[in-house]
């Protein structure tokens, strides 16, 4: 059976937030539209439904780290504050938001208070565990199986090999075109050289023909 550890945390939080909107015990307070989530933040969250995403994230952390309280969650949701020229300083997250979110989750029956040795705080209930695992199975079911992925990759590789055989690469086409151009240039040069040789030979032949005639005339005069 798939659990929340088998799924990406961001996908799990987004799906869980959508499901938590349907739960009547979980509602965003009136001040959630303009409040910051911590001292280290500069502005309030841009997303209107950030409250449900935060509660889904808190439920996942309680599942993973429980028993856990507000103090540990504050350090978990804290961050560094940009102080301009001065060095950054770590500030913990808002305790009121985390306290209210845990109270709402406890009313919905998804978490409960428990003590384990020295540690005490909220732990996830069987209902909360089933809630997250069910969403994880839905996400896992949407994704293709690894065997199907391998088959698709093999088919794509076969198609690529066929295309490579049928289609010549650009480099080969370019080299062939260059060879053809060179051959044409060579043939043109040969033709031009032959023409020049013929033109040069003709005047020599005429001279040779003229010279014997002159010699004959001289002999007759003598």
DSSP letter string, 175-215: HHHHHHHHHHHHHHHHHHHHHHHHHHHHHHHHHHHHHHHHH
- Give the pLDDT confidence of 169-191 residue by residue, as tens digits: 555 556 766 777 777 777 777 77
What is the average pLDDT value for the chain, to the nearest integer? 81
- Give the CATH number for residue 83: 1.10.10.10
- Give the pLDDT confidence of 82-120 residue by residue, as tens digits: 999 999 999 999 999 999 999 999 999 999 999 988 889
Inform me whether the pLDDT recorded for 213 exceeds 60: no
60 and 122 share one domain: yes
How far is Cα 26 from Cα 211, in angstroms, rounded to an integer?
123
Please check whether residue 154 lies inside any domain of the structure. no
60 and 91 share one domain: yes
9 and 54 share one domain: yes
Q: What crossing angle do the helices spanning 50-65 and 95-108 adopt, rounded to 10°?
A: 80
Give the structural domain span for 194.
166-221
Please check whether residue 78 lies inside any domain of the structure. yes
Q: Is the pTM of this model over 0.85?
A: no
91 and 133 share one domain: yes
109 and 14 share one domain: yes
Domain count of the fold of the chain: 2
């Amino acid at each position: 059976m798939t659990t929340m550890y088998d799924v990406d945390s961001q996908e799990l939080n987004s799906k869980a937030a959508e499901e938590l909107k349907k739960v009547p015990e979980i509602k965003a307070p009136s001040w959630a539209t303009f409040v910051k989530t911590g001292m280290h933040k500069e502005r309030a969250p841009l997303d209107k439904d950030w409250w449900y995403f935060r509660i889904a994230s808190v439920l996942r952390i309680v599942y993973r780290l429980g028993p856990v309280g507000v103090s540990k969650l504050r350090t978990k949701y804290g961050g560094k504050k940009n102080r301009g020229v001065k060095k950054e300083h770590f500030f913990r997250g808002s305790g009121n938001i985390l306290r209210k979110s845990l109270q709402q989750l406890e009313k919905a029956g998804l978490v409960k208070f428990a003590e384990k040795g020295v540690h005490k705080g909220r732990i996830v209930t069987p209902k909360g565990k089933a809630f997250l695992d069910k969403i994880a199975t839905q996400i896992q079911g949407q994704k293709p199986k690894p065997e199907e992925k391998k088959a698709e990759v093999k088919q794509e590789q076969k198609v690529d090999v066929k295309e490579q055989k049928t289609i010549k690469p650009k480099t080969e086409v370019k080299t062939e075109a260059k060879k053809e151009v060179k051959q044409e240039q060579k043939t043109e040069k040969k033709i031009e050289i032959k023409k020049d040789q013929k033109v040069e030979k003709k005047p020599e032949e005429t001279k040779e023909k003229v010279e014997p005639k002159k010699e004959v005339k001289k002999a007759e005069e003598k």
